[in-house]
């Protein structure tokens, strides 16, 4: 009996405080839907390697079988700790983040790439300021009315105004599960807190991820696939660059060595790499783009307003080396791979659309997350004859290029 293709996937989430079981349930639900549309078979189950959190999947693609084991590389605890701020501290983050992006000139250069993600970045700033102004207005009117009615004037009006304003801000925060203003503010503030440099807690976690990938590379796999989504894409760049520089993986083509592949999805690399102290990330982009040890495919979509669609993360950052060999820039082409009905159902649902790369397409093209992760072809083999998608943006725009 022919041995099935064996793949190990290590998934790096974006800035997400949600427990990793969400990704397992998403994969199972959307994988079953995609299998029904595309006519292949997927079976979900446990893994042999129970390290960390993950799941297993078996694929049957016209008689060609594959086995895959997922593992989520977790940094949700770091995200949660960065979000545990008071209302006043969040407004302090707003001022610091705005000063960082505006003062460094990054904001204006980001707008020269894609306006969608810049608008998404401005969204929490505008909403939080509007919430504060509305709370002050309601508080001021309430305090003024009570002061007039009681004859105590500002002696009563001022404390009432402050109390009502504070209560209004607390109410807005409780509603943030639907508005996402606080969540997005914490996200951008986390990136900007040290001018683009990784904070110590994140550096330590990236070192753990690097060790884990090196350990997995010693296993009996045909391919080890690293998947990074959203801000997890640039974390994946740094982890893989560290791994290669450390010399802990055999050279490409070594007999018995699994192929190391990297799939970046919906990246927001410029949000970090355009900041003045992101030297480490810029060096990682430079080194990884020239490395023969990894096959790197980058998938975005212009229709995803939360990512820098078709922006080559290495080229636009201004760190493209002369011997650059990757990444290959591909479009998920939402306007072609999602039916009009599906597109209408996702209209204005920016966050859901940002996760579409991990979901089923009802008009699938050559990008299919489930054939990539559960199918019998390596990532480089699947896209061996592809060129960059039309519309790729590769002009260097970044002011800060030091590595």
pLDDT tens digit sequence for 242-275: 999 998 877 666 777 899 999 999 999 999 999 9
Structure tokens at 317: 């950052």
Backbone angles phi, psi at 401, to 5 degrees: -120, 5
Structure tokens at 53: 């959190």
Structure tokens at 172: 């807005």
Residue 321 confidence class, pLDDT cut points 50, 70, 90? very high
pLDDT at 137: 84
pTM over 0.85: yes
What average pLDDT does the chain have? 91
Q: What share of the chain is helix, strand, coil (3-state, %, to 5)?
A: 50, 15, 35
Residue 29 confidence class, pLDDT cut points 50, 70, 90? very high
pLDDT in tens, 381-399: 999 989 999 999 999 999 9
Instruction: Give CA–CA dist 154/144, Å, rounded.
Output: 7
Closest CA to 326 of 282, 295, 363: 295
Please name every residue paired with 239 in a beta bridge, in sequence order, or none if there are none: none
Q: Where are the domains of the chain?
A: 5-77+198-382, 85-191
Closest CA to 299 of 239, 386, 235, 212: 386
pLDDT in tens, 347-375: 888 889 999 999 999 999 899 999 999 99
Please give the DSSP secondary-structure letter assigned to residue 358: G
What CA–CA distances, in Å, run from 316 to 98, 303, 369? 22, 19, 26
- 203, pLDDT greater than 90: yes
- Cβ(202)–Cβ(232) below 8 Å: no
- 5-77+198-382 placed in CATH 3.40.50: yes
- Cβ(57)–Cβ(70) below 8 Å: yes
Half-sphere exposure (CA, 13 Å, Cβ side) for 100?
Answer: 25
Instruction: Give CA–CA dist 153/336, Å, rounded.
Output: 63
Query: How far is C-alpha 112 from the chain's CA centre?
Result: 21
């Amino acid at each position: 009996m022919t041995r099935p293709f064996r793949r190990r996937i290590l998934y790096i989430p974006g800035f997400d405080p949600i427990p990793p079981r969400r990704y397992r349930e998403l994969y199972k639900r959307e994988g079953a839907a995609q299998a029904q549309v595309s006519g292949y078979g997927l079976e979900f189950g446990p893994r042999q390697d129970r390290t960390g959190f993950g799941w297993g999947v078996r694929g049957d693609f016209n008689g060609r079988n594959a086995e895959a084991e997922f593992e989520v590389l977790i940094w949700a605890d770091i995200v949660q700790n960065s979000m545990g701020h008071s209302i006043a501290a969040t407004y302090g983050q707003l001022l610091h983040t705005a000063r960082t992006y505006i003062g460094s000139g990054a904001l204006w250069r980001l707008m020269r790439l894609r306006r969608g993600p810049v608008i998404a970045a401005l969204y929490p700033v505008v909403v939080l300021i509007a919430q504060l102004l509305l709370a002050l207005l309601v508080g001021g009117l309430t305090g003024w009315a009570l002061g007039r009615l009681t004859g105590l004037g500002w002696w009563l009006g001022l404390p009432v105004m402050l109390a009502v304003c504070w209560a209004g801000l607390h109410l807005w925060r409780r509603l943030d599960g639907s508005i996402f203003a606080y969540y997005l503010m914490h996200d951008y503030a986390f990136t900007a807190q040290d001018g683009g440099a990784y904070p110590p807690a994140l550096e330590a976690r990236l070192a753990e991820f690097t060790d884990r990938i090196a350990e997995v590379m010693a296993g009996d796999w045909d391919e080890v696939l690293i998947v990074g989504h959203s801000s997890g894409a640039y974390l994946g760049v740094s982890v893989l660059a560290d791994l290669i520089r450390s010399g802990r993986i055999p050279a490409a083509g070594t007999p018995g060595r699994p192929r190391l592949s990297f799939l970046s999805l919906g990246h927001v690399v410029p949000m970090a790499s355009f900041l003045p102290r992101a030297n480490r990330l810029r060096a990682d982009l430079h080194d990884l783009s020239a490395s023969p040890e990894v096959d790197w495919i980058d998938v975005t979509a212009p229709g995803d307003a939360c990512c820098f669609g078709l922006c080559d993360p290495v080229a636009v950052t201004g760190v493209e080396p002369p011997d650059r060999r990757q990444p290959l820039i591909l479009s998920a082409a939402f306007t072609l791979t999602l039916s009009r009905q599906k597109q209408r159902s996702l209209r204005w649902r920016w966050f859901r659309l940002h996760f579409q790369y991990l979901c089923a397409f009802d008009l699938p093209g050559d990008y299919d997350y489930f054939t990539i992760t559960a199918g019998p072809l390596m990532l480089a083999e699947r896209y061996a004859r592809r060129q960059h998608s039309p519309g790729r943006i590769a002009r260097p725009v970044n002011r800060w290029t030091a590595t």
